[in-house]
Amino acid sequence: MKLTTKWILWYTLAAVYALILGALFYFNMFKFVFDKKLQGEIAELVRPKTTFFVKNLTVKPFGAAVFDEAELLNEWVDEDERIVNIIYLNYRGMIRWHKRGKYIGTSYDVYENEVGFETDAISRAYTSRQPYVEMFGDKNYYDMAIPLKAKGDEVVGIINIQFSRVGAKALIKRAMLQFFVGSIAILALMGFGLFMMFYYKVISPINSMKDSIESISTKSFNFAFLERDDEIGGLARAVSKFLGKVKGELETFEDVSAKSHVAEKSWWKTVVNITTAKNEKAIVVDENNMVLYANFKALKGKSKIHLLDIFDSANSDIIQLVSMAMEKPGKVYDLDTEFQGKTLYVKVAKVDSGKDVSRILIILKSKKNKK
């Protein structure tokens, strides 16, 4: 898998992970903010009127709500679409107002048995003497109980309001949609910018270095790459340094090989001079059938001579003899043949002179000198 593919895959996974974590965080934050805002707005309806309700409860603690109270409660229910119902109770738990008039004057226990309260918010608010809120109806509604306290922190009544949180849920949904759209746009733009930087700073230089390496000649070992100050530039310098070492070692090897070749050629010259007569021709070839030494001028004007440059198709029997000798080191093969218009006696033998080093010695004698 290429680096670009890996980078895109990992960035996508990291972006999705960050998006999910961000969504969880912002969802809870939006839920807290919008729900608290909704609860605060409903509670703010009652707070300025607390003294009004407490005064009426003190003057007329029993019976139905007075006209002003009923008018105010009706106004809240009619004008605020979020409010589903309001139950107004005195300190004895008698209902002073209900949008369905038949329940006015009903006690808390009777109403609980016949109709039932959505939650236990009223009892909790009465016990704690603090406002209490609880969800109901698949978390689509809130049940808020607000105690009305007179002097001495005495609870003289409770206003219980059920109101919808559908609007708050819609706000949360819109906020989350905006969050996703904005986050995806930001991550896409940021990813594009990072990818372009990654491509031009990493991928493109690596491809350029690859092309430079592929174009290196084994003759010069020249590594053409623009100088850089970053890690890729350091890698390029390391490659160039390595190629310099390889070039130096090859030059040393070639020098040693050349010296060895000269020494071996001198050695064979001595051997051939000792073992052959003046009118006899001798040729020494290496494992590639290249002439290593000859005691006569084989071909003029050529520095490197192959055995086939000396013996052509008319001397195929000599070539065959060489092939036979290659198979069995130390064994001497001979024959009579025609070469350059003369009848010659030819002897061929393979001489092993070390590991993976073998030489073929070919001696050409005139037929009259055969012994």
CA 240 to chain centre: 30
Mean per-residue pLDDT for 253-267?
A: 80
**Separation CA 111–CA 95 (nearest Å):** 9
CA 273 to chain centre: 73
Q: Is the pLDDT of residue 259 over 70?
A: yes
Q: Is the pLDDT of residue 306 over 60?
A: yes
Task: Between 254 and 83, name the one with better pLDDT.
Answer: 83
Q: Is the pTM of this model over 0.95?
A: no
Q: Is the pLDDT of residue 368 over 70?
A: no
Calculate the CA dihedral of residues 156, 75, 143, 173 and round it to 10 degrees.
-150
User: Environment class of residue 217 by beta-carbon count within 10 Å: exposed (0-12), middle (13-18) or buried (19+)?
Assistant: exposed
State what percent of residues in the chain have pLDDT above 70.
96
Give the pLDDT score at 125.
94
Decide: 88 and 65 in contact? Cβ < 8 Å.
yes
Give the pLDDT score at 355.
61
Average pLDDT value over all residues in the chain: 87
Longest distance between any two alpha carbons in the chain, whole Å? 159
Name the nearest CA neighbour of 160 among 143, 175, 148.
Answer: 143
Q: SS3 for the chain, per residue?
A: CCHHHHHHHHHHHHHHHHHHHHHHHHHHHHHHHHHHHHHHHHHHHHHHHHHHHHHHHHHCCCCCCCHHHHHHHHHHHHHCCCEEEEEEEECCCEEEEECCHHHCCCEHHHHHHHCCCCCCHHHHHHHHCCCEEEEECCCCEEEEEEEEECHHHCEEEEEEEEEECHHHHHHHHHHHHHHHHHHHHHHHHHHHHHHHHHHHHHHHHHHHHHHHHHCCCCCCCCCCCCCCCCHHHHHHHHHHHHHHHHHHHHHHHHHHHHHHHHHHHHHHHHHHHHHCCCCCEEEEECCCCEEEEECCCCCCCCCCCEHHHHCCHHHHHHHHHHHHHHHCCCCEEEEEEEECCEEEEEEEEEEEEECCEEEEEEEEEEHHHCC
Decide: 335 and 349 in contact? Cβ < 8 Å.
no
Tell me the two tokens of residue 360: 């073929």
Q: Is the pLDDT of residue 18 over 70?
A: yes
**Separation CA 274–CA 196 (nearest Å):** 76
Q: Which residues pair with 85 in a beta bridge?
A: 162
Name the nearest CA neighbour of 315 among 344, 287, 295, 275.
Answer: 344
CA angle at 184 for the pair 180 and 189, rounded to the nearest 5°: 150
State what percent of residues in the chain have pLDDT above 90.
41
Give the pLDDT score at 136.
93
Q: How far is CA 304 from each of CA 95, 286, 312, rounded to the nearest angstrom?
A: 122, 12, 17
Give the pLDDT score at 356.
66
Mean per-residue pLDDT for 194-220?
A: 83
**Separation CA 38–CA 11 (nearest Å):** 39
Give the pLDDT score at 341.
76
Mean per-residue pLDDT for 201-222?
A: 81
Decide: 144 and 42 in contact? Cβ < 8 Å.
yes
Give the number of residues written for the chain: 371
CA angle at 330 for the pair 328 and 332, rounded to the nearest 5°: 85
**Separation CA 340–CA 342 (nearest Å):** 6
Mean per-residue pLDDT for 194-204?
A: 86
- Tell me which amino acid residue 30 is: F
Decide: 103 and 111 in contact? Cβ < 8 Å.
yes
Task: Between 341 and 122, name the one with better pLDDT.
Answer: 122
